């Protein structure tokens, strides 16, 4: 099946490297080229003919508007996601008028970026594979929750499962659990970040109060915790997410 091919046009090498590393871990996506200037970006787009271009709007020697124009004149049919640190609806609207399908304000969540790409081309490429992967991940997480005694009827169950799935998709999000992970989970369930944090904490405490610590140690193959220890939210999410990543590798 055809992969989603991506070209990154951004003068920040650290950002480009991070995006490339993220998508290297995502089946069905390929970063085919990285360019740091507008001129090189147009050349890369016309050479690679990608599905999606991640385009920084502020570039050396030119800007994202000229890149989109040059690519279109060259016959490119790529979809553009404009990236910028410039806030404001006016600039975003100008980027959309200039040919961008989406406008995202830096710093961005890689998971949100992947979701935007899926919105643009995900329905055309690898839909069956992606659906199967999501279903398998849900099943694995559910099995762990059953084993450790986290009941499905409590709010923290859904929040915790979503947080783990996000950490699988974007492992570095665990380093920004308060600023990124909780707010993104909250946004998906129309609630607050503080309620997400408390509900996840409650779900973990329920498991520990049921005394199923040995089940947890058996699942991970090592003695992770003893009876008087409780992991933080971030530790538990990272632990389960790491197991999912290893199993899917």
- What is the per-residue pLDDT across 116-148, written as a single tens digit (0 to 9) for each? 888 788 655 444 545 556 677 778 888 888 878
Is pLDDT at 149 greater than 90 in this prediction? Answer: no
In the chain, residues under CATH classification 1.10.10.10 are 128-248
pTM: 0.52
CA distance 242 to 9: 31
Question: Omega into 80 within 30° of 0, i.e. cis?
Answer: no
Report the top-level CATH class of 4-125. alpha beta
Q: How many CA atoms lie within 13 A of 134 on its CB side?
A: 8
The per-residue pLDDT for 125 is 46
Sign of the alpha-carbon torsion through 234, 236, 242, 248 = negative
DSSP, collapsed to helix, strand or coil, labels residue 234 as helix
Mean pLDDT on 159-184: 87
- Least confident window among 60-69, 169-178, 200-209, 219-228: 219-228
The per-residue pLDDT for 200 is 95
In the chain, residues under CATH classification 3.40.50.2300 are 4-125
Sign of the alpha-carbon torsion through 116, 120, 121, 127 = positive
What are 42's two structure tokens? 């147009």
The per-residue pLDDT for 40 is 95
Where does 128-248 sit in CATH, by number? Answer: 1.10.10.10
- Quick check: 219 and 144 in contact, CB under 8 A? yes
CA distance 53 to 9: 7
Is pLDDT at 241 greater than 80 in this prediction? Answer: yes
What share of the chain in percent tops pLDDT 90?
A: 36
Provide φ and ψ at 170, rounded to 5°. -145, 85
Say which residues have a Cβ less than 8 Å from residue 88's Cβ, sequence separation at least 6: none
Most confident of 29-38, 125-134, 231-240: 29-38
Tell me the Ramachandran region of residue 149: left when phi exceeds 0, alpha when psi lies from -120 to 50, beta otherwise.
left
Is pLDDT at 188 greater than 60 in this prediction? Answer: yes
What is the pLDDT confidence band of residue 56, given thresholds at 50, 70 and 90?
very high
Most confident of 134-148, 155-169, 208-222: 155-169
């Amino acid at each position: 099946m055809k992969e989603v091919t991506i070209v990154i046009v951004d003068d920040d090498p650290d950002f480009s490297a991070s995006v490339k590393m993220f998508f290297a871990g995502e089946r069905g996506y390929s970063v085919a080229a990285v360019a740091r200037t507008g001129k090189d970006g147009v050349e890369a787009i016309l050479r690679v003919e990608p599905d999606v271009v991640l385009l920084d709007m502020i570039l050396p020697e030119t800007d994202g508007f000229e890149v989109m124009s040059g690519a279109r004149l060259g016959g490119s049919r790529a979809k553009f996601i404009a990236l910028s640190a410039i806030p404001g609806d006016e600039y975003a609207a100008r980027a959309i008028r200039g040919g961008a399908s989406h406008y995202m304000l830096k710093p961005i969540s890689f998971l949100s970026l992947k979701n935007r790409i899926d919105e643009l081309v995900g329905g055309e490429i690898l839909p069956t594979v992606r659906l199967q992967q999501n279903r398998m991940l849900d099943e694995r997480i559910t099995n762990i929750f059953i084993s450790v005694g986290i009941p499905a009827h409590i709010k923290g169950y859904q929040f915790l499962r979503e947080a783990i799935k996000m950490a699988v998709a974007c492992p570095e999000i665990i380093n920004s659990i308060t600023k990124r992970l909780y707010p993104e989970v909250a946004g998906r369930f129309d609630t607050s970040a503080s309620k997400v944090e408390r509900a996840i904490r409650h779900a973990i405490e329920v498991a520990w109060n049921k005394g199923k610590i040995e089940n947890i140690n058996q699942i991970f193959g090592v003695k992770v915790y003893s009876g008087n220890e409780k992991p933080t939210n971030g530790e538990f999410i990272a632990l389960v997410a790491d197991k999912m990543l290893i199993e899917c590798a």
